[in-house]
Amino acid sequence: MGKLRLAVLASGRGTNLQALIDAIAAGELEAEIAVIISNRRDAQALERGRKHQIPLCFLDPREYIDSDAYDRALVAVWQEYKVDLVVLAGFMRLLGPEAVRAYRNRIVNIHPSLLPSFPGLNAQAQAVAYGVRYSGCTVHFVDEGMDTGPIILQAVVPVKEDDNPETLAARILKEEHRLYPRAIQLFAEGRLEVVGRRVRIKDK
């Protein structure tokens, strides 16, 4: 079998994308990024991809009549690039049921909290406001809900008394950059098995 082919979807600065690029270069992640897709023309993630000569695809939401049509365009790109795994890395759109169904258990996301706590936007601010002592990040398969799919890996970070959303986000982000390549490498090794809500990690 060839290398695992990834589509990375990103809307913003793309530091998680960069962590994947770096992990691949370091030989820690046996995969290749077949295409980077963004819904924003000015996403820094596209710039990062350009530097590494990775194929880029900007899909402008304004050119589609509704989100179902947009999702179909996404799936078409995944198929065109023969993508094995779709990696959401700060992609600020919810995927609809059609896309999720077409790539069931082949779409992963990273979220900056210990799910199921604090799904949705501004997870780090939610954690600070709630007053939890620990937060972290979660890599999970994507299902039809918002940040609700089966959990692959999590990492825990402490919340300090003087944290604000930005300081906590920075601490979590460091862990995201370690966690995401690891989770995808497990997928690449064929070691993830989804059993209901739970993900079993098979021995090597």
Piece of 63-71, 76-84, 109-117, 127-135 that binds ligand GRF (CB under 6 A):
109-117
Question: Is residue 52 annotated as a catalytic residue, yes or no?
Answer: no
Q: Are the C-beta atoms of 112 and 90 separated by less than 8 Å?
A: no
Told to check if 147 binds ligand GRF by CB under 6 A, we report no
The verdict on 112 binding ligand GRF (CB under 6 A) reads yes
Q: Which of residues 35-54 bind ligand GRF (CB under 6 A)?
A: none
> Does 176 participate in binding ligand GRF (rule CB under 6 A)?
yes
CB of 138 to ligand GRF, least distance (A): 9
Which of the residues 4 through 33 are near ligand GRF (CB under 6 A)? Answer: 10, 12-16
Does the protein bind ligand GRF through residue 110 (CB under 6 A)? yes
Query: Closer CB to ligand GRF, residue 110 or residue 188?
Result: 110
Tell me: does residue 93 bind ligand GRF (CB under 6 A).
no
Q: Which residues bind ligand GRF (CB under 6 A)?
A: 10, 12-16, 89-90, 110-112, 173, 176
Which positions are annotated as active-site residues? 111
